[in-house]
Chains A and B, each alone.
Chain A
Amino acid sequence: MFVNSYNVRTFAANLKQGIFNPVRMRINTFKSITLFAIFFAVFNVSFASEIKEAGDDEKFDPKEMILHHVKDAYGMHLFDFNSHPVSIPLPVITYTDKGLTMFSSSEFHHDYNGKVIVEKNGQRFVNVHEKVYVLEEGATSVKYDAEHHPTNAHRPKLDISITRNVFMMWVSIAVLFLIFLTAARRYKKSDDNVPSGIASFVEPLVVFVRDEIARPMIGEHKYKRYMPYLLTIFFFIWINNIFGLIPILNGANLSGNIAFTFTLAAITFIITTFSGNKNYWKHIFWMPGVPVPMKIFLMPIEIIGMFVKPISLMIRLFANITAGHVIILALMSLIFVFKTVAIAPVSVAFSLFITVIEVIVTAIQAYIFTILSALYFGMATEEAHH
């Protein structure tokens, strides 16, 4: 069941019905499984090649490699060719006392240990663990304190670099635009609104969000106002989760970035707060139907609850996606920790298994985020019924 549901259309159709129909799933099962296994085996090998690069200097440190993968970076490292890293250079844009400075991340020559110094605009920049630092006057190399923080360099006032996360976000936006504008054009062309082409892929998902998420959670009368937002976050989170699983784009841990999830949760919080009606605020500040001491006791709890809801949305998405990446990479690092090929089949098999589960998790997390947002909107707009 797990293996097959990568077939998104089938998966969506099943989600829509709320059941996993075994007969429908059996279509092309063998072909699907084989292709799927081959794809992911290849992908996992590409993960391994990334680890190899990190492990070249004598002792292999899985923690550092994993953190480096999970965090944001200035360049987009794709793969190694003849032990030479191949990457997409992205612009580093900083704002300091001397104004805006912009240069390509390729000028760091894949260095993130603060060794390569880039001179631009009368300032010297170094890349220390994927954070750009400006060297102070007269300093020629970075010096560190006991906790490995640079002592003679400081962060620029504003770092608005197009990092790999920002880049992947733009790619996902472009892909979403492509999918949905094409689908919309299909509807415009057809006379009878029968979906064809990509529209027949999009329609069940949109209907799923409407009938399974918005309608039951918000209510028949008000759900339409929230549909655009719910659809946006559903598809945006889903596609970014999927991009995070494609190892050749191995920097795209976008939905595992706390700033990204924070922004989405903050938007949900703002919409909830502004669409809250009298009944919603009454339940927070003066809970109806309970004695007065209880009302006073419940007020701070409800106010904390107001903020905990978006915070839990933020942490759930962040932790789930990051944990998935960490597990896959940790399994692959086993090979390099034990320094033997014998462990490779086990570790590839396990990470294949986890990858398959992660494919399901991509959809489930998008679903959970959307349905909980809808639930909060529903709570905010609910009318008094007592």
Chain B
Amino acid sequence: MTITGIAAIGAGLAAIGAGMGIGRIGGSAMEAMARQPEMHGKIQSSALILAAFVEAVALFGVVVAFLQG
């Protein structure tokens, strides 16, 4: 397997990790919003920020894979 192939697998793994992370954030945010609709705005903005944090780690992985591939 070439280094490009391994880099592509790495990018895929990063995407899986980010998907799980953001999925959990989104799911929990939805549950919280359903439970307390009046907190909708606050929950949405903090969910976005948390998703950005999770995404950043995944993007590190993708950028490293991109540089290698």
Give me the interface of A with B, judged by CB distance under 8 Å.
17-19, 212, 312, 315-316, 319-320, 323, 364, 367-368, 371-372, 375
Known: A212-B45, A371-B45. A316 touches B52 (CB 8 A): yes
CB B19 to nearest CB in A, in angstroms, measures 15
For B49, give its contact among A17, A320, A371 (CB under 8 Å).
A371
CB neighbours of B62 from chain A (8 A): 319, 323
Give Cα distance in the complex from A212 to B49, angstroms: 13
Give Cα distance in the complex from A18 to B44, angstroms: 7
A368 and B44: CB pair below 8 A?
Answer: no
For A18, give its contact among B40, B55, B56 (CB under 8 Å).
B40
Give Cα distance in the complex from A319 to B41, angstroms: 27
Give Cα distance in the complex from A315 to B44, angstroms: 23
A316 and B59: CB pair below 8 A?
Answer: yes
CB neighbours of B48 from chain A (8 A): 364, 367-368
From B59, B60, B63, name the one whose CB has the most chain A CB atoms within 10 angstroms: B59
CB neighbours of B49 from chain A (8 A): 368, 371-372, 375
CB neighbours of A17 from chain B (8 A): 41
Known: A368-B49, A372-B52. A315 touches B60 (CB 8 A): yes
Give me the interface of B with A, judged by CB distance under 8 Å.
40-42, 44-45, 48-49, 52-53, 55-56, 59-60, 62-63
CB neighbours of A372 from chain B (8 A): 49, 52
Give Cα distance in the complex from A66 to B25, angstroms: 32
CB B47 to nearest CB in A, in angstroms, measures 11
For A319, give its contact among B42, B44, B45, B63 (CB under 8 Å).
B63
6 closest A-B pairs by CB: A18-B41, A319-B59, A312-B56, A368-B52, A316-B56, A315-B59
CB B60 to nearest CB in A, in angstroms, measures 6
How many contacting A-B pairs (Cβ < 8 A)?
A: 36
| Other A-B pairs beyond A312-B53, A315-B63, 5, CB < 8 Å | A316-B56, A319-B59, A320-B55, A372-B52, A375-B49
CB neighbours of B42 from chain A (8 A): 18
Give Cα distance in the complex from A17 to B49, angstroms: 17
Instruction: Pull 10 A–B residue pairs with CB atoms less than 8 Å apart, ordered by A.
Output: A17-B41, A18-B45, A312-B56, A315-B63, A316-B59, A319-B59, A319-B63, A320-B55, A372-B49, A375-B49
CB neighbours of B52 from chain A (8 A): 316, 368, 372
Give Cα distance in the complex from A185 to B60, angstroms: 44
CB neighbours of B63 from chain A (8 A): 315, 319
CB neighbours of B59 from chain A (8 A): 315-316, 319-320
CB neighbours of B44 from chain A (8 A): 18
A19 and B41: CB pair below 8 A?
Answer: yes
CB B43 to nearest CB in A, in angstroms, measures 9
CB A236 to nearest CB in B, in angstroms, measures 18
CB neighbours of A319 from chain B (8 A): 59, 62-63
Give Cα distance in the complex from A312 to B53, angstroms: 8
For B56, give its contact among A19, A315, A367 (CB under 8 Å).
A315
B40 and A19: CB pair below 8 A?
Answer: yes
CB neighbours of B53 from chain A (8 A): 312
CB neighbours of B55 from chain A (8 A): 316, 320
Give Cα distance in the complex from A91 to B11, angstroms: 38
Give Cα distance in the complex from A316 to B54, angstroms: 10
Least CB separation from B60: chain A residue:
A315
CB A277 to nearest CB in B, in angstroms, measures 23
Give Cα distance in the complex from A364 to B48, angstroms: 8
Give Cα distance in the complex from A375 to B52, angstroms: 13
CB neighbours of A375 from chain B (8 A): 49
Least CB separation from B44: chain A residue:
A18
CB B46 to nearest CB in A, in angstroms, measures 10
